[in-house]
Every structure is written in structure tokens, then in C-alpha cells.
Structure 1
Amino acid sequence: MFEQLTQLAQQFGNEAVVKNDAIPNDQNEAVINEASSSIISGLQKIASDGGIDQLAGLFQGNTNLDSSNPVVQKLSEQLTGTLGEKFNLSSDAASGVAGGMIPQILGSLVGKAKDANDSSFQISDLINAISGEGAQNSSIMDAISKYGGQFGLDQNSDGKVDISDAMSAVTKNSGGIGGLFSKLFGK
């Protein structure tokens, strides 16, 4: 997961970072790496702050991935602040980097998550990276319960999506828990 994010950051960092005169060449790689790591930490923060609905909407493709998207805004603000602090970039230069990279990286992640022919990215990897351990896992399960019925995840037709549905999905050879998450996020 982290390698994929780093590759995407490098791919989209050329225009926003490498060709940016406001960023010294000796800091290009560090700025790109910071953008990559800030996405995971930002998504973790959104999840821990109760923004699971926003994340679910993001990966369902129900929202635009531009500066009007709340997830893009939060991640861009976080990266802008970090670039200003760590690399002494002006707020304009830092927000230009964030605005040039965050929507493109998230757009590519969502595209890969929804592309059944792209096995390089699994939505379950992102969920694991975001959720880590503990309370965030219960928030993700709450989101699955909330949205799962809409995606046919209620395996036992009891009106809710819970661990028994996950177990049923696994035993029915529907792709395991990764398949469950893939259905939730539209892959």
C-alpha cells in the first residue's frame, strides 16, 4: 500500500514538485515522500475523527475529487501546513504542491480501487492502512453496516450487516473479507 502511494506521489509530483521553482531540487524527493505519507496519516485522522462516511463516499465515487471535496480539502490543508513547517515553503508554494498532488493521487487510488482488472491495488489494503488497530476498526464496521445493505452485503437478510454476514460471505467463496470490502467500495 505504501509503495503504491509512493509511486503515485512520484508520478504526480513531477509537475507539482520537480518543475516547481519554489522547491529546491535537493528537497524534491523529501517533499514527494511527505505528500505520500501525509495521505495515509490524513486518512487515518479523518477516520479517527468520525469521517468514515466521507471516506466511504470517496471510494464509492459519489463525490468529485477536486478542491471542493471535504477529504481533498482536509488532506491538502494538512500537507500544506506540513510542507510549510518542514521545508519552509511559502503558503502559496505549499498549497500549490498539495493542490497539484492530492486530487490526482486520490483520483488514481479511487480509479484503481474500482478497476476490477487492476490487481495492483486492493481496497482492503487501504482499509487496513487507514484503520490500523482498535476503535477505528469499529468505525469502519459501522460504515459497512450503514452502507452494506445497499450493496447486497446483508448475507442473512436480517436488515443489518455485521460479522455474521462477513463470515457468510467468506464461506460462500465470494472473495473473503477482501471481497466484502470490494463490494462495499464498488470494485
Structure 2
Amino acid sequence: MCLLCERYGDGYERWYFNPANYARRLYKIRKEEAEALGAEANPQLAGGMAAVGREFLEAEEKGDIETVERLKQEAEASALAVHFGQVITLDEALKVIDIMYPIALMTCVCRRSMQGLPDEENFTCIGMGPGMYKWERWPETYRGGVQFLTSDEAKEVVTKMNKRGLVQGIYTFGTPYLGGLCNCDYPSCGFIRVRVDYGVKVL
């Protein structure tokens, strides 16, 4: 059994089939800033490529293995606590859609930044859960707005994306709470790139 299933599965076959992991409270008592750090991922700051910065790239170029490994471990620990992803099969994605609510189609930040896709060609990601009711807080992330979908509509969208060759991945926004079902590919996806190109396990 994987670490995530042990921690967050609560008896379910996979941790992402546990409905409790989709049940983040929409409203909660405000905490002091220092106490709340890391408790909720801001989608504007989240992203796979954010896991590796200049220090990491320079250390890798110099062959400074010790620094590279330290920064990898720090990035992986940070991602696991706040915002990381896991690739899932199409069948698993369709099962997840039956659990999550609300469901909203949105533009992909990775594909926008890597390919410069205009919004009208870039509705490939699905936001889910109560956080979608607050999407207007981050207008740059949700450029083009969102399109709320029924479960059947979402399944149709994801199936079409899969046929186009896009990979399904599920993402936390404040672990263990799941907030994104992405449909992306290499080299567009920041998470896939960080994992494949740099070996950092954020996915």
C-alpha cells in the first residue's frame, strides 16, 4: 500500500476515493498568519515548475549533487504538505468525478505558460470542491472564467481529453484535500516536467 493510501485512505482502495479528501470546509475560523502558513495552497503560487528554482538549476549545472539532493528533498516535503499530484487512469478519473462537487472546467496554467495558448483553446483542467466557489479571488489563475459542469458533462470532457493523448492527474490544494483533476502532457505540464527532467517527486 502506498504512503498516501495509508495516511488518507481510511479503508478505501485508493486515497483519492475517500470522500473525506474532497470535503474541505468552505468557511473556517481565521488563524494567525504564522499558524496558517501552508494550510491552504494559493493556486496562483502553486505549480510543478515552482518546485525547482534558480539555486536548484545552478547546483545541477555545477554538478553539486549534495545541494541538488537537499533541494529535491525540501521541494518534495513542501509539495507533499501542500500541493502535489498523482497520475491516475481514465477509469479512476471517471470514478473520482462521481465523488467530487462542484465541478468546473477551467484553463490550464501550465499549458498557458509553456505554450502560450489563448484561453479559448486551453480549457483542459477541472477544478473541484468548495474552493471553486471562490475562483474569482484569483483572476489570473482562472483567466477565461470557469464553466460549471454536471458529472456526466465532466466525464465526457475527460474522456475526450484522454483520447487526445492528455494524461489525467489529481492534485491536492492543502493536503489531503483534492482540488484539481488535470488533463495535460509533456512538456506542457509543470509537474510532469519537474518529475521527468529533474527527478523531483512532486507527481
Q: Which has the larger radius of gyration?
A: 1
More strand per residue? 2
Fold match by TM threshold 0.5: no
Q: Determine which structure has greater relative contact order: mean sequence separation of CA pairs < 8 Å that are 6+ residues apart, divided by chain length.
A: 2
TM-score (norm 2): 0.29
